Amino acid sequence: MTALVGARIFDGERFLDDHAVIVEGARIARVAPYAQRPRERLEVDLGGGLLAPGFIDVQVNGGGGALMNDAPSAEVVARIAESHRRYGSVGVMPTLVTDSPEKMRTAIAAVREARRRLPSVLGIHLEGPFLDPSRKGAHDASYIREIEPADIEMIASADCGAVMLTLAPNRVRADVIRALAARGVLVSLGHSEATYEEAQAGLAAGARAFTHLFNAMSALQGRKPGMVGAALDSREAFVGVIADGRHVHPASLRVAFAAKPHDRFMLITDAMPPAADGPDSFLLQGRRVARIDGCLRLEDGTIAGSVLTMDEALRFSVRSIGLTLAEALTMASRTPAAFLRRDRDLGRIAPGYLASLVHLDDELRVKETWVEGEPTLAKAAA
């Protein structure tokens, strides 16, 4: 049993001063006033800063030089997860962009194997290939296709933790979305020129979220609300946002946050290999992607993911968008935990929850992370 002391605490709902977090094994045993902490236990003085629920990123394609689409393996998944852990992500959904059925099966198997030793790997995000070619973004159009019964079975029976699938609601029938959702797949709507009505039909069939709001989706117009309008009009749908100032203008994000309850927004990175200390360029399915003025682009100028980490998204949300720290922290942890149906053990600092935590300094930079009670430094020493 360990007592974490000396830092302000955000428990997922409120800030606590002069309190201690008592960790026993992988879980939080108590959150107690400092004066009532158990004195006979190991005590770790954090020396100030903020202790919060660790970040959960439901869309991370790569990091630290690794890319899911290259050659999916447990080692690649581990490299992505560990590189982003240094920046506060204690839970990740490694993301495979549109690719072949064989690559999808390999990626699912890689995540399944990685989860046996890395609890920070929460599942897999399959971003495509059942998308709208007119809104493909950086996805390779040659891999975009119609969904088949074999695809439904492969995805629904993946058995690798949470399974998130981004699809276009104007390309996938409502009954297919309903069948996927009934088997536990977290369907997210994205990469689509769908109308407002088509997006609403997807939600009614069981879709749970929208993938990277504003990007690769039909825009909000006065008489045509589009995908953006459907995302903001729905009280229940979760919405991922890339808060880096390049994918979406800060003013657009402020408008979105004013239109919809904040407890449905999730900060995501959409990170690629250059993120988390990776190289400045890489190949995505044979196409060169390079960092140009802090933004990743294909040679034709198309944005291709990001170099973002979750701590950067947090700082940007507070400093450039104007969210409160509590709102931004919630979007980085408790809300994605709720989307993944993991809000009974992740996203809060409370008795019984997993001790998956992040310690931030006064500038909101990561000093330490814990995944199920295990600190980064102890892992590095091992």
Active site residue 361: no
Instruction: Return the ∠ at Cα 240 (arms to 235 and 242), rounded to 5°.
Output: 140
Terminal C-alpha separation, the chain: 19
Tokens of 283: 């190949």
Which H or E run includes 359? strand 357-360
Spell out the residues 6+ positions from residue 195 whose beta carbon is closer than 8 angstroms to its own: 170, 218, 224, 226
Tokens of 48: 């100030």
Dist. CA 229–CA 212, nearest whole Å: 14
DSSP per-residue string spanning 19-38: EEEEEETTEEEEEEEGGGS-
* Residue 71 near residue 36 (C-beta atoms within 8 A): no
Spell out the residues 6+ positions from residue 17 whose beta carbon is closer than 8 angstroms to its own: 8, 9
223 alpha-carbon distance from chain centroid? 32
Q: Pinpoint the alpha helices (H) of the chain.
A: 74-85, 101-115, 149-156, 174-182, 196-204, 226-233, 250-259, 310-316, 325-332, 334-339, 376-381
- The radius of gyration of the chain's CA atoms, rounded to the nearest angstrom, is 20
Q: Measuring CA to CA, how many Å separate 155 from each of 129, 163, 201, 347, 375? A: 12, 7, 21, 26, 33
Considering the candidates 99, 270, 280, 361, report the single residue annotated as catalytic. Answer: 270
129 prior amide bond cis, ω within 30? yes
What does DSSP say about strands 162-167 and 66-67: parallel, antiparallel, or unpaired? unpaired
Residues carrying an active site annotation: 270
